[in-house]
């Protein structure tokens, strides 16, 4: 279908700006610009927000806890932010975390993993897995239920959620109840899928942008490692239930859908939903583009179904 009207106008304005390609912009400036585009959403109310730094075996990782109520035995959603492993932080994922917290009654833990190119693969993935281990051991101190943990993320965060689910399976835990993968980055070895060709330019995230993000995050020799490109795992069996959400006008559409279909083929309880007329980034636009509310509602429905049953 055609772009929804709000995206037609947004892209018209963005394309008229004729911004330079990412490779020609300092990383610090890209990060600050993204932070401006994805501000905190304090108007979305939760009971409490708590910033803290947790200690892992190799690194101290900043996290932000969102509590739906002051209580105990709340299910937990670990939220990994998007931004191509290069940009994004606890500010840019704040709106998503608040909506998921309010929509599920679960505690949400946003993870400020280390970014590329300063910290290349597999640093981000190992940070995210380390927070899962911490949650399984310590989240009860903050009212969470370590037996009901989900992983979630959009774009590069969806990649990290899928990777952490595989790490959990491969390393014998900690167990994960379900995974929410929103337009996830799944394959760094193929930039010639139909969606990469059809949506290469003009829809926000370009083919060149995505190739640049991969170059910052990994060496080419690492691209087929399943902890970088989850679809290259020998098997996807015995992974937790998944919801994979994609956008029609997104270079990442086909790889996300291919991953979801392969999950189903290998016996995982998985659902794939494509949002026609949408572009990359819709999960962070619930407050500014009303049409995208349906995606947040669907995500919360899936999380509720697995975390509360």
- 250 classed as catalytic: yes
Query: Cα(167)–Cα(306) distance, rounded to whole angstroms?
Result: 20
Cα distance between residue 281 and residue 136, in whole Å = 30
Helix/strand/coil (H, E, C) string of 243-289? EEEEEEECCCHHHHHHHHHHHHHCCCCEEEEEEEEEECCHHHCCCCC
In a 3-state reduction of DSSP, which class is residue 133? helix
Within 10 angstroms of residue 126's Cβ, the number of other Cβ atoms is 21
Using only the alpha carbons of the chain, give its radius of gyration.
18
Tokens of 3: 């772009």
Query: What is the arrangement of strands in the sheet containing 48-55, beginning at the earlier edge strand?
Result: 48-55, 60-67, 107-111, 74-80, 144-154, 178-182, 242-249, 270-279
In the set 81, 99, 280, 306, the catalytic residue is 280
What are the start-end ranges of the E strands in 3-106? Answer: 48-55, 60-67, 74-80
Which member of 81, 89, 136, 155 is catalytic?
155
DSSP state of 41: -
59 is catalytic: no
Strands 74-80 and 144-154: parallel
The single-letter DSSP state of residue 82 is -
Q: 292 CB contacts (<8 Å, ≥6 apart)?
A: 275, 278, 282, 283, 285, 286
Taking the C-alpha atoms of residue 40 and residue 9, their distance in angstroms, rounded to an integer, is 23
280: annotated active-site residue: yes
Name the active-site residue from 94, 250, 254, 306: 250
From CA 226, how far away is CA 223, in angstroms rounded? 8
Nearest-angstrom CA–CA distance, 239 and 7? 34
Active site residues: 155, 250, 280
């Amino acid at each position: 279908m055609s772009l929804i009207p709000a995206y037609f106008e947004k892209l018209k304005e963005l394309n008229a700006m004729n911004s330079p390609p990412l490779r020609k912009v300092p990383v610090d400036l890209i990060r600050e610009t993204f932070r401006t585009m994805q501000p905190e959403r304090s108007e979305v109310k939760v009971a409490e927000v708590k910033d803290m730094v947790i200690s892992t075996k190799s690194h101290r990782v900043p996290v932000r806890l969102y509590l739906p109520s002051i209580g105990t035995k709340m299910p937990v959603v670990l939220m990994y932010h998007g931004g191509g492993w290069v940009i994004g932080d606890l500010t840019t994922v704040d709106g998503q975390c608040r909506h998921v917290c309010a929509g599920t009654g679960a505690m949400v833990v946003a993870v400020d993993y280390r970014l590329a190119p300063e910290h290349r693969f597999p640093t981000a993935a190992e940070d995210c897995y380390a927070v899962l281990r911490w949650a399984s051991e310590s989240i009860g101190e903050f009212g969470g239920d370590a037996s009901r943990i989900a992983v979630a993320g959009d774009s590069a965060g969806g990649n990290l959620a899928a990777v952490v689910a595989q790490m959990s399976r491969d390393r014998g835990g900690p167990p994960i109840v379900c995974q929410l993968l929103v337009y996830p980055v799944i394959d760094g070895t193929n930039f010639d899928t139909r969606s990469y060709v059809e949506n290469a330019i003009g829809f926000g995230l370009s083919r060149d942008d995505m190739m640049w993000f991969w170059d910052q995050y990994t060496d080419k020799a690492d691209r087929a490692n399943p902890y970088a490109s989850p679809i290259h795992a020998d098997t996807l069996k015995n992974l937790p239930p998944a919801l994979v959400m994609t956008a029609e006008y997104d270079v990442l559409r086909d790889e996300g859908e291919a991953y979801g279909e392969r999950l189903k083929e290998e016996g995982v309880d998985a659902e794939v939903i494509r949002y026609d007329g949408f572009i990359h980034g819709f999960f962070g636009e619930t407050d500014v583009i009303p049409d995208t509310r349906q995606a947040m509602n669907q995500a919360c429905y899936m999380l509720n179904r697995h975390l509360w049953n």
